[in-house]
Structure 1
Amino acid sequence: MNEKQILILGIGNVLWADEGFGVRCVEALNQNYEFGENVKIMDGGTQGIYLVQHVQEADVLVVFDAIDYGLAPGTLKTIYNDEVPKFMGAKQMSLHQTGFQEVLAMAEFTGHYPADLLLVGCQPVELEDFGGSLREEVKAQVQPAIDIALAYLTQFGISAQRSAGTSQALAPGQLNLSEYEQGRPDEQAACRTGDSRVIGSAVGESTK
């Protein structure tokens, strides 16, 4: 029996508030659920074109991302199959979405394109907060988004088991949502145009 290869991908940038929605979804999925060997959970971050080979290998692709649908902040919307590339480029919020459009186009051009696609997108509340985290309306949609994806995957015979939370992390520990938020300066100490933890290190590097 040839099992379908499933890729569950979260894309976005956790350093820009709600743009990290997709990454936080796969982070939670990886922490709380276990799948068979034919399911790959991946933090795609802002890797863009470097994701091509992973997409090419997938029969079924599930993508989590923050998408500007023009809806009420925190609203979830699901897009399927041929409509996915259109929505990824309809109203781009950042370069990672342009990059992922190119990933899908290249996969299609090479003839190795997922037969089934699902995009679970969330309307962001705030993006202009460098070093910020998910706003409450968006954070509240992480589990509902995961539930949508899990329900979708059942049609392909994929079922998830609750895990004991011992899975290897997808990203460095300091980027884990809880650690990231605990290390965030309070409202008075934090620079509203960025997080001094990030800005300080960037300035230091540039002066070397």
Structure 2
Amino acid sequence: MEKRILVLGIGNLLWADEGFGVRCVEALNAGWRFGANVTVMDGGTQGLYLLPYVQEADCLLVFDAVDYGDTPGDLREVVGDQVPRFMGAKKMSLHQTGFQEVLMAAELTGKLPAELVLIGVQPEELEDYGGSLRDVVKAQMAPALDLALAWLGRWGATASRRDDAAEAITDRALAMDVYEAGRPPADQACRLGDARFLNGEAA
């Protein structure tokens, strides 16, 4: 019987290196096709909404940007019961709190995937609203995909190179090339959030 495999990218594309996980699943989906037992998903920052998908999986592979305290761009492969610990060790944002809760809820319901893998990168920049991946983080996408494909192979998943255009798993307006090309200059778009609140005008 084929294992049900979920490949999940989590994070927030709008905050620079926070988008690493989502960019990885975009690239995996664009470059490879898999059998019906493999689901490649943009989990974004959905938190507990991801629980049913996690509960249905036998094997779960997660891409994410995680603050390990390492050198920016360092890539780590975390396996098994270490995954929830790493997801919660030093949270960078609410999405990690939410996903740690997903794993806990799946375990409490007796439906935690039998195999867990986290492929995480140490971010360089997070506080850049509307920014894209920094070069040291973007450079780790290809190695991260290689690690993922190796795990998928161990789990018995069939993978073949695409020779056609994949159906996008994120909105085309957020695709990396469009997103990076369309960013307004700094004098037209605040880099840290909503300037009205940052300047205290809403107080």
Mapping of residues 167-182 of structure 1, within 5 Å: 167-182=166-181
User: How far apart are 1:155 and its partner, in Å?
Assistant: 1.3
Which 5+ residue runs of structure 2 have no aligned equivalent? 196-203
- In structure 2, the partner of 1:51 is 50
Which 5+ residue runs of structure 1 have no aligned equivalent? 201-208
Secondary structure of the residue that 1:41 maps to in structure 2?
strand
- In structure 1, the partner of 2:16 is 17
Count of aligned pairs between the two proteins: 197
RMSD of aligned alpha carbons: 1.7
Secondary structure of the residue that 1:71 maps to in structure 2?
coil
| Alignment partners' CA distance in 1, 2:164 and 2:106 | 33
- In structure 1, the partner of 2:100 is 101
| Alignment partners' CA distance in 2, 1:191 and 1:17 | 14
User: How far apart are 1:62 and its partner, in Å?
Assistant: 0.2
- In structure 2, the partner of 1:86 is 85
Encode CA deviations 1:149-188: one digit per residue, 9 max, x unaligned. 1111211212311112411111111011111001012355
Matched, 1:136 2:100: no
Encode CA deviations 1:102-157: one digit per residue, 9 max, x unaligned. 00011011111100010000000000001111001101111110100111121121
| Alignment partners' CA distance in 2, 1:4 and 1:157 | 8
Mapping of residues 147-158 of structure 1, within 5 Å: 147-158=146-157
- In structure 1, the partner of 2:3 is 4
TM-score, L = length of structure 1: 0.91
User: How far apart are 1:193 and its partner, in Å?
Assistant: 2.2
The answer to whether the Cα contact below 8 Å between 2:3 and 2:156 also exists between their aligned partners in 1 is no
- In structure 2, the partner of 1:204 is none
What amino acid maps onto 1:175 in structure 2?
A: L
- After alignment, is 159-168 or 9-18 more displaced? 159-168
Encode CA deviations 1:66-100: one digit per residue, 9 max, x unaligned. 00011000000010010000000000000000000
